[in-house]
Amino acid sequence: MNRHFRLNTHREKRKLSKWSRPAIRFAVRMTPKRRSAVIRTFPDFDDTAFVLTRGLQKVGIRPILLVSRGAVSRDWVSEHGAVVQPALSLKGVVSYLRSRYVFFTHSLYLSPKPSSNQLSVNLWHGMPLKRIGYDLPDALVPNFDLTVATSSRFADIVARSFGVSTEQVWVGGLPRNDLLTEGEVAEVSASIPSPYVVWLPTYRSSVLGSTRDDGDGQDALPSPQELDLICSALMSKGILLIVKMHPMASLLETERFQHPNVRLIDESWLRLSGIHLYQLLAGAQALISDYSSVLVDYQISGRPTFVVATDADSYEKSRGLNFSYSELSSLGSIQTSYANLASSLRELVIGIESSARAESLFYSADRENATSRLLSHVMATKFPKKQPPNV
């Protein structure tokens, strides 16, 4: 799909939203509400959906998980107690209209301007190291009452990117990070022996959602020879490399990670294994990524992170970053080549604490119980009289 077609698609979405958003908002305003919350995340059944489902049940709010058509899962009803409905179904739409609360990561039903009888929370999908929202051309930006940041610097970035006041940005941590702080490292399947390092590459050519090209796929991904250097460094320490590709990445990008010491996993693997990504991360010796928001979250662990910047110039020109590389270096060791990454992994030392600069820039919020604190703030923000006594 060429870029011209993508831009036209964005324009069509904006035209649709211009006429549809007021009608959707009117329907929301006219529909009586019940004590329930709809949750829409991408991917379906991700860590954010799990912790929100659990947290909402604790405060007596019925969670309704809206998923892609064909992704309805009975095990979420039995194991997690969430009602699961297709987002593109009559049941899903009715649940959205009747729910007092809405949580989403990538918009929901065009995300119209919030109504006075419903509170909408944009959790995005992590803190934006790279540019998002209005900082990108032809963006279709969701409307909402409240969003989240992990530091005052991120609060300013998020407010600018979504065109809202900083008063609408709660600095208090991301719900999914509870899985990094609870001290319960999930049992990993027998095919993933410990110790292991996790690599989470972001996409270069997206195939889902807002399709786009960021950076240079050739420079960003390792060649077979470079991957062998990296795996040899880890194998010398008896460490396995787990790679989880971005859900929007193309199959061609996945094929760049074929090696005997690599275990490629995806959302299906996680669900079949009965664990969540952040539980897997909690047991990792280190994290490798390029511009993923998980680099920010992983600071909680106090373990090493390696920031891959092999296509830094082309990425900055195409997508752009919200931080300088000097600032990013406080998140972890900047790797400008895969030969450097291999050398760094040979010298891997566990137990590196995050710096004071990293905490100030990226994660100054409290690091525990983010879900319960967020829900307390949410219910006190718009409907204080409806706040349950146990919140």
Omega into 32 within 30° of 0, i.e. cis? no
Q: Give one DSSP letter per residue of 373-391, joined into a string.
A: HHHHHHHHHH-GGG--TT-
Strand pairing class (146-149; 262-265): unpaired
Rounded distance between C-alpha atoms, residue 5 and residue 11, angstroms? 10
What one-letter code names the amino acid at 124? W
Strand partners, 148: 170
The two structure tokens encoding residue 62: 């019925």
Rounded distance between C-alpha atoms, residue 83 and residue 65, angstroms? 6
Average pLDDT over residues 277-292: 93
Asked whether the predicted pLDDT for residue 172 surpasses 80, the reply is yes
Least confident of 16-25, 320-329, 369-378: 16-25
Backbone φ, ψ for residue 351 (5° rounding): 95, 25
Per the listing, tokens 């329907």 go with 27
Per DSSP, helices labelled H in the chain are 3-30, 47-58, 74-80, 90-98, 152-162, 178-181, 217-220, 224-235, 251-254, 267-273, 277-282, 294-297, 312-318, 325-328, 338-346, 356-361, 370-382
Asked whether the predicted pLDDT for residue 387 surpasses 60, the reply is no
Least confident of 22-31, 46-55, 196-205, 214-223: 214-223
Give me the pLDDT at residue 295, please: 96
3-class DSSP state of 126: strand
230-258 pLDDT, tens digit each: 999 999 999 999 999 888 777 778 888 99
The band of 187, judged by pLDDT with boundaries at 50, 70 and 90, is low
Average pLDDT over residues 36-49: 95
The two structure tokens encoding residue 244: 């989880």
Rounded distance between C-alpha atoms, residue 107 and residue 105, angstroms? 6
30 or 208: whose pLDDT is higher? 30
Per the listing, tokens 């600032």 go with 327
Same fold, 3-173+368-386 and 186-361: yes
96-114 pLDDT, tens digit each: 999 999 999 999 999 999 9
Per-residue b or e along 256-266, where b marks 16 or more CB atoms closer than 10 Å to that residue's CB? bbebeebbbbe
What CATH topology corresponds to 3-173+368-386? Rossmann fold (3.40.50)
Give me the pLDDT at residue 126, please: 94
Asked whether the predicted pLDDT for residue 14 surpasses 60, the reply is yes
Give me the pLDDT at residue 214, please: 75
Of the options 3.30.530.20, 3.40.50.12580, 3.40.640.10, 3.40.50.300, the CATH number for the domain spanning 186-361: 3.40.50.12580
Give me the pLDDT at residue 211, please: 60
328-381 pLDDT, tens digit each: 999 999 999 999 999 999 998 776 666 788 888 999 999 899 999 999 999 998
Rounded distance between C-alpha atoms, residue 182 and residue 269, angstroms? 22
- pTM (predicted TM-score): 0.90
Average pLDDT over residues 4-32: 74
45-70 pLDDT, tens digit each: 999 999 999 999 999 999 999 999 88
Omega into 86 within 30° of 0, i.e. cis? no
Domain boundaries, the chain: 3-173+368-386, 186-361
Please state, in angstroms and as integers, the Cα–Cα distance from residue 373 to each residue in 157, 172, 380, following that order.
22, 7, 11
Give me the pLDDT at residue 175, please: 96
Give me the pLDDT at residue 277, please: 93
Q: Are 120 and 144 in contact (CB under 8 A)?
A: yes
The DSSP code for 109 is: T
Give me the pLDDT at residue 64, please: 96
